[in-house]
């Protein structure tokens, strides 16, 4: 779990460091404007989305312990190459390449973690998994504060040093990953394998306990093979499973309001008159609040055994902050705007709850692998919409964009409540169908058709 977190952190460091680079006049240095920047982010997300399902399927065949380290070293290398960006074309090309090699990682890791944990343990682990986003941005802001101050050394901009150093960090993480990722419970990682092939990390008895507890929780994992290809039936099932459709829909819309502010936070703070150093350091409190909220609301969801309504807290939380942003005048004290922006940045990021629901509603391992990828593809579609809401003509405070985001927040709250009623209805339908089955068919039905 710890190393999966570190690997995710390396991904988030690279995919979001562009948000800090632009606070160092990167756009002016390479001759592009805000709309060109939005297009670059759209290209990245489209490529990320396009690689999502193929990346997950390739990883399923070759094994994540082989595939993931190579991808991390590749995206680290491409991040370092961004130091050579000197035009709109090179900016767009490298954003495309980074997106292509990063796509597939997140659903791949969700499936990978499901090899080791029971269904009721996965949501809180996924909450911890997603703390990689705010905590990476917190230490990323600290790194940026120092690296961006290197502007002028060897005639480079600070943003060039930022890309180079953080890219090299990822290359090191990828190299170590090859040695420390275990293929499965019963197959030790290279670094923890004895000469006779046994595991240094846990005993044979512990291995049996770990395997049995997972299988007793979910018998469908008995045929799990993390190097087994997913067939057409598994792919079709993930798309046609009606129980997953509400989650897919919310995957698109639920986190659109959060993303424009996250992408533009440092740039907005610069436009408010703060220095490059201050703009990056002032972003940290929002990231810390984000990390606390992720874990708390993940725990709360399991404590209350409630997912849809707890997940709605993300948009309920953001709504008053957005209303504040569209109501305060341009002459307002900068600290008032900063508090509102920090509130949005500290969102209860209930993404992990929706991912956990996706895993629970998938009928088997093959479907689970594809449905996690499809959900993340839906999220990327929402991200593509999000990065185009703040426009160059609307800067510096994006009043029009914030009005749009306020409306989407209110719409999402209705969707979450609707999803709650949908699953209540679906469970009643399943219970009626189950009660009418012969006794000998009931166990098979629970294992294959009645997960909820």
Q: DSSP characters for 155-174?
A: G--HHHHHHHHHHHHHHHHH
- Model pLDDT for residues 89-109, shown as the tens digit of each residue: 999 999 999 999 998 898 888
Higher-confidence residue of 441 and 262: namely 262
- Model pLDDT for residues 18-62, shown as the tens digit of each residue: 988 988 889 999 999 888 988 999 999 899 988 888 887 788 788
Calculated CA dihedral for residues 267, 151, 45, 69, nearest 10 degrees: -140
Phi, psi of 193 (to 5 degrees): -105, 130
pLDDT above 90 covers a percentage of the chain that reads: 44
Query: What's the rounded Cα separation, in Å, for the pair 337 and 325?
Result: 7
* Token digits of residue 311: 């997940």
Please say if the pLDDT value at position 225 is more than 60: no
- Mean pLDDT along residues 389-411: 92
Domain 2-227+241-429+441-448, second-level architecture: Up-down Bundle (1.20)
- Model pLDDT for residues 290-314, shown as the tens digit of each residue: 999 998 998 898 888 899 999 999 9
Query: What's the rounded Cα separation, in Å, for the pair 177 and 108?
Result: 15
Span of 73-82, 134-143, 167-176, 319-328 with lowest mean pLDDT: 134-143
Q: Is the dihedral of CA 171, 177, 179, 180 positive or negative?
A: positive
Please say if the pLDDT value at position 228 is more than 80: no
Query: What's the rounded Cα separation, in Å, for the pair 34 and 36?
Result: 5
Span of 159-163, 240-244, 362-366 with lowest mean pLDDT: 362-366
Please say if the pLDDT value at position 231 is more than 80: no
Number of Cβ within 10 Å of residue 16's Cβ equals 16
Q: How high is the pLDDT of residue 396?
A: 85
Please say if the pLDDT value at position 168 is more than 70: yes
- Mean pLDDT along residues 322-351: 92
Higher-confidence residue of 396 and 179: namely 179
Reported as a pLDDT band with limits 50, 70 and 90, residue 363 is low
| Cα→Cα distances 156→84, 150, 267, 310, Å | 10, 8, 20, 47
- Mean pLDDT along residues 115-143: 86
Q: What's the mean pLDDT when you consider all of the chain? A: 87
Three-class SS state of 3: helix
Contacting residues for 227 by C-beta, under 8 A, at least 6 apart: 60, 61, 62, 63, 183
Q: How high is the pLDDT of residue 171?
A: 97
Number of Cβ within 10 Å of residue 425's Cβ equals 10
Among 298, 306, 318, 323, residue whose Cα is nearest residue 253: 318
């Amino acid at each position: 779990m710890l190393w999966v977190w570190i690997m995710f952190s390396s991904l988030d460091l690279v995919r979001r460091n562009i948000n800090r680079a632009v606070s160092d006049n990167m756009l002016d240095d390479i001759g592009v404007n805000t709309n060109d920047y939005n297009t670059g982010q759209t290209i990245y997300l489209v490529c990320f989305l396009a690689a999502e399902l193929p990346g997950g399927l390739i990883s399923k065949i070759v094994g994540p312990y082989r595939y993931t380290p190579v991808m991390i070293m590749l995206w680290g290398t491409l991040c370092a190459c961004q130091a050579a960006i000197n035009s709109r074309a090179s900016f767009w090309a490298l954003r495309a390449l980074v997106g292509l090699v990063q796509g597939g990682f997140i659903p791949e890791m969700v499936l990978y973690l499901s090899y080791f944990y029971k269904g009721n343990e996965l949501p809180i682990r996924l909450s911890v998994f997603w703390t990689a986003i705010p905590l990476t941005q917190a230490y990323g802001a600290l790194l940026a504060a120092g690296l961006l101050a290197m502007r002028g050394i060897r005639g480079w901009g600070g943003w060039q040093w930022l890309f180079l150093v953080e890219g090299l960090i990822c290359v090191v993480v990828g190299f170590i990953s090859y040695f420390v990722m275990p293929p499965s419970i019963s197959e030790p990682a290279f670094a923890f394998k004895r000469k006779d092939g046994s595991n240094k990390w846990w005993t044979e008895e512990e291995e049996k306990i770990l395997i049995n507890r997972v299988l007793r929780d979910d018998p469908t994992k008995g045929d799990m093979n993390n190097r087994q290809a997913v067939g057409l039936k598994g792919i079709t099932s993930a798309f046609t499973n009606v129980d997953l459709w509400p989650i897919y829909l919310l995957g698109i819309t639920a986190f659109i309001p959060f993303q424009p502010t996250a992408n533009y936070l440092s740039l907005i703070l610069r436009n408010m008159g703060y220095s490059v150093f201050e703009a990056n350091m002032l972003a940290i409190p929002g990231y810390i609040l984000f990390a606390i909220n992720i874990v708390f609301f993940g725990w709360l969801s399991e404590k209350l055994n409630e997912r849809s309504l707890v997940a709605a807290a993300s948009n309920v939380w953001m709504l008053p902050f957005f209303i504040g942003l569209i109501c305060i005048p341009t002459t307002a004290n900068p600290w008032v705007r900063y508090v509102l922006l920090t509130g949005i940045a500290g969102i209860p990021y209930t993404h992990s709850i929706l991912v956990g629901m996706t895993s629970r509603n998938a009928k088997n391992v093959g479907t689970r692998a594809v449905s996690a990828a499809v959900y993340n593809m839906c999220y990327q579609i929402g991200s593509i919409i999000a990065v185009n809401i703040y426009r160059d003509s609307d800067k510096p405070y994006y009043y029009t964009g914030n009005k749009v985001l306020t409306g989407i927040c209110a719409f999402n709250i209705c969707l979450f409540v609707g999803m709650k009623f949908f699953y209540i209805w679906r469970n009643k339908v399943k219970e009626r169908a189950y009660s009418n089955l012969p006794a000998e068919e009931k166990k098979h039905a629970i294992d294959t058709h009645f997960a909820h």
